[in-house]
Structure 1
Amino acid sequence: METDTMTPLKTILLDRILSKGRITFADFMAACLYEPGLGYYTSPGRKVGAEGDFYTSMNVHLVFGRLVAREICRMWESMGSPGRFDIIEAGAGAGQLAKDILDTIAGINLPFYDTLTYCLVEKEPTLKEAQKAKLADHLARLDWHTPEELAEGGSTFSGCLLSNELIDAMPVHLVEMTPAGLMEVYVTALDGEFGEMLDEPSTPELAAYLKRLGISLFAGQRAEISLAAIGWLEAAAKAVEKGFVLTIDYGYPADELYAPMRKNGTLLCYYQHTTEESPYIRVGLQDITSHVNFTALMERGEELGLHTVWFGEQYRFLLGAGLMEEMLALEKSGVSETELIKNRLALKKLMLPDGGMGDTFKVLIQAKGVDNPQLLCMRDWGKCF
């Protein structure tokens, strides 16, 4: 296993394994990302944008948030324009997406703005002050919950539960198909470094997960299984009394995610805008992700009363939500040619495949208690001018 400089979290995890024994990769990943005060997402510091380690769609151009806001406005209308509407953003970060959404709604639909409460959910506690500063114009509309409060399901809401690149960062179990059957990857410690070993799965749910989806791995194939994503969706289904779950992330349907061409799975790390395959270096300092299994979310969602309303590539969602109108408005805004070129390049990145975000990123909208919603993304995107 590749060696690396020691970090405080690496020392803790090596000691933990030496004293208590091997751990599943899911437990290792959970600690790397969420160990209190030391994990990647629970320690201070910028994670997203030019100063961080990766970009998300909202950092590419504010039009992304404007289009999400347009769709949320349509959700409110499809629910009969109720007098209270909650937007719950899970994994809200520093609040940039919340700002873009709230700025847009306040500008295009003031009656809706006056009914809504925007609740930010974030594991990193120091981000609350950054969120307050960024959202100073909307403080009267804000609320906060911890991820644990959302997961416990103590209260319900009507509105939209939104996540943007959240599920890809949930801990995953690593499995490998061997001649002896399905095995799980465990993380061990040896001579001050991490190692791996294969053994019987830690839970029968791993084999059951693949069986439910009709997935057969070939010998030597590795894959990720996110039981945490299913658990999160189950908590979301309990929390949503009426409304929508809007999930934006990179991933595939199950048959593509577990296709033979992905022999080593989709696990990837990000550090200072470069990718890294080894999750065992820079422990606590780099992001660890895997692609989302959207089939699992849709099938489990149906069982929970969250019915799939729309699923497709991000570029189709953006076009349906009004991207062409936004682009035309930008072209007519009177900004300099340099700014126009910058806008065009950013929007190209949001839409296009092969280096862009257009088809790798998917959008899943699930509804509960809303009959036949007519959302913007359902429009014929070829007629959205």
Structure 2
Amino acid sequence: MESTPALKDILLERIWKAGRLTFADFMAACLYEPGLGYYTSPGRKVGAEGDFYTSMNVHLMFGRLIAREISRMWEILGSPESFTIAEAGAGGGQLARDILDTIAETNRSFYDVLTYRLIEKEPTLKEAQQEKLTRHLARLSWSAPEDLAAGRLHFSGCVLSNELIDAMPVHLVEMTPAGLMEVYVTAIDGEFGEMLDEPSTPALADYLKENGVTLLAGQRGEINLAATGWLRSVADTLEKGFVLTIDYGYEADELYAPMRKNGTLLCYYQHTTCEDPYTRVGAQDITSHVNFTALIREGVKCGLHRAWFGEQYRFLLGAGLMEEMLALEKSGATETELLKTRLALKKLMLPDGGMGDTFRVLIQAKEVEDPRLLCMRDWGKF
């Protein structure tokens, strides 16, 4: 599939009028232009019929274990009579269903007092979410991302995101002999190109300095100012509770290591990857790895302290993976069902082709002292 013609024309016209676009503005349009962007146009993005898998598509056990941890968060807050799970980037509602099914089954007292708020930019997904979550409609609420950004939401509970931040628009920078330069998107003969020039904002150099990053000459990197802005909005929204972020990425020293000379920008289309964001405009996903150091540092500034951070496999083990497997074996599941589950969990847990150490989990807490989360079990001090 080629670029979405209408979106390509819009972007070329914007470049013609402005002379150039920051890569962040280009990426934002490719992914989120109303009705035309990758995430704001109809069509399945995730799963076998889409362009990529996420952990929730591998097996419902992923959602069950998140549900166990969120139930623990409710208990840590004193089992209040009002608790909101706000899932940012809720997609088609699969993760929401797995979490709500589990809580309804295992912790009815919690289920009866919770609100599950789905926050999704693509408006046509609400119908799919309602259909998938029919048995939980009494527990559901909906909001737009703009409601979160504008500070119109306030609640206690847990803000959850799974592979959201990696798809936020990023600035591209490159270190040159003349100093730090920004990559801008230009157009030549109706096709997209690049140019280097002075950074569009001092915030880019400040970001690298605050995160202790020094790029080598010729090295590129992504700077996700949108992620730290999003986290500030979350901190303003959350009165008390937790922020649970699951995504692929690294801490700053590893993310910007010299071996990543070209950064981490990657595109997904029909379960294949490429490094060219200027092809299939509007028809392919564009992502970059998350800088967890920046999220942790920004969180401290706005009242979110790090409660736990580690690889996905450690989170899943601590949250109760072995207990879930034992319960499944005692349930009378067939050997075929058990084998299928084990193979799925292998993908969720193992490195080298799996998701176990590529994905990280960050839990931040607000107005909660020394939380005893399930994922902390038997892992020493954090």
User: TM (normalized to structure 1)?
Assistant: 0.97
Correspondent of 2:331 among 327, 333, 348: 333
Distance 1:104 1:6 in 2: 40
Q: Is the 8 A contact 2:249 2:291 kept in 1?
A: yes
Shift in Å, 1:333: 3.1
Partner of 2:32: 34
Shift in Å, 1:4: 5.6
Shift in Å, 1:140: 0.4
Partner of 1:271: 269
Shift in Å, 1:303: 1.0
Shift in Å, 1:239: 0.3
Deviations 1:268-320 (A, max 9, x none): 00000011110000000000000000000001101110000000000000000
For the pair 1:254 / 2:252, whether they are aligned, the reply is yes
Question: 2:139 is matched by which residue type in structure 1?
Answer: R
Shift in Å, 1:23: 0.2
Distance 2:92 2:31 in 1: 17
Question: 1:298 is matched by which residue type in structure 2?
Answer: I
Partner of 1:222: 220
Shift in Å, 1:350: 0.2
Partner of 2:158: 160
Distance 1:5 1:379 in 2: 48
Shift in Å, 1:77: 0.3
Question: 1:84 is matched by which residue type in structure 2?
Answer: S
Correspondent of 1:370 among 362, 368, 371: 368
Shift in Å, 1:6: 6.1
| Correspondence list, 1:129-144, <5 A | 129-144=127-142
For the pair 1:11 / 2:9, whether they are aligned, the reply is yes
Q: Is the 8 A contact 2:23 2:171 kept in 1?
A: yes
Q: Is the 8 A contact 1:253 1:294 kept in 2?
A: yes
Distance 2:169 2:232 in 1: 16
For the pair 1:172 / 2:170, whether they are aligned, the reply is yes
Distance 2:256 2:208 in 1: 10
Partner of 1:209: 207
Shift in Å, 1:329: 2.3
Shift in Å, 1:19: 2.5
Partner of 1:286: 284
In structure 2, the residue corresponding to 1:278 is in which secondary structure? Answer: coil
Shift in Å, 1:21: 1.5
Shift in Å, 1:342: 1.5
Q: Is the 8 A contact 1:53 1:271 kept in 2?
A: yes
In structure 2, the residue corresponding to 1:302 is in which secondary structure? Answer: helix
Distance 2:153 2:133 in 1: 25
Deviations 1:317-338 (A, max 9, x none): 0000000111222233333333
Shift in Å, 1:109: 0.4
Question: 2:98 is matched by which residue type in structure 1?
Answer: D
Q: Is the 8 A contact 2:4 2:282 kept in 1?
A: no
Question: 1:378 is matched by which residue type in structure 2?
Answer: M
Partner of 1:49: 47
Partner of 1:231: 229
Shift in Å, 1:339: 2.4
User: TM (normalized to structure 2)?
Assistant: 0.98
For the pair 1:22 / 2:20, whether they are aligned, the reply is yes
Shift in Å, 1:16: 1.8
Cα distance change, pair 381–214 in 1 and its aligned pair in 2 (3 A): closer
Shift in Å, 1:247: 0.3
Distance 2:281 2:328 in 1: 42
Distance 1:168 1:186 in 2: 20
Q: Is the 8 A contact 1:7 1:282 kept in 2?
A: no
Q: Number of residue pairs matched?
A: 380
Distance 2:81 2:58 in 1: 33
Partner of 2:293: 295
Shift in Å, 1:8: 2.1
Deviations 1:104-135 (A, max 9, x none): 00100000101100000000000000000000
Deviations 1:109-167 (A, max 9, x none): 00010110000000000000000000000000000000000111123110000000000
Deviations 1:191-224 (A, max 9, x none): 1110000000000000000011111100000000
In structure 2, the residue corresponding to 1:372 is in which secondary structure? Answer: coil
Question: 1:280 is matched by which residue type in structure 2?
Answer: Y
Distance 2:358 2:168 in 1: 18
In structure 2, the residue corresponding to 1:343 is in which secondary structure? Answer: helix
Shift in Å, 1:5: 5.6
Question: 1:294 is matched by which residue type in structure 2?
Answer: F
Question: 1:261 is matched by which residue type in structure 2?
Answer: M
In structure 2, the residue corresponding to 1:41 is in which secondary structure? Answer: coil
Question: 1:43 is matched by which residue type in structure 2?
Answer: S
Shift in Å, 1:343: 1.1
Cα distance change, pair 187–72 in 1 and its aligned pair in 2 (3 A): same
Question: 2:221 is matched by which residue type in structure 1?
Answer: A
For the pair 1:146 / 2:148, whether they are aligned, the reply is no
Partner of 2:106: 108
| Correspondence list, 1:238-249, <5 A | 238-249=236-247
Correspondent of 2:305 among 304, 307, 325: 307
Question: 1:303 is matched by which residue type in structure 2?
Answer: K
In structure 1, the residue corresponding to 2:31 is in which secondary structure? Answer: helix
Partner of 2:359: 361
| Correspondence list, 1:71-86, <5 A | 71-86=69-84
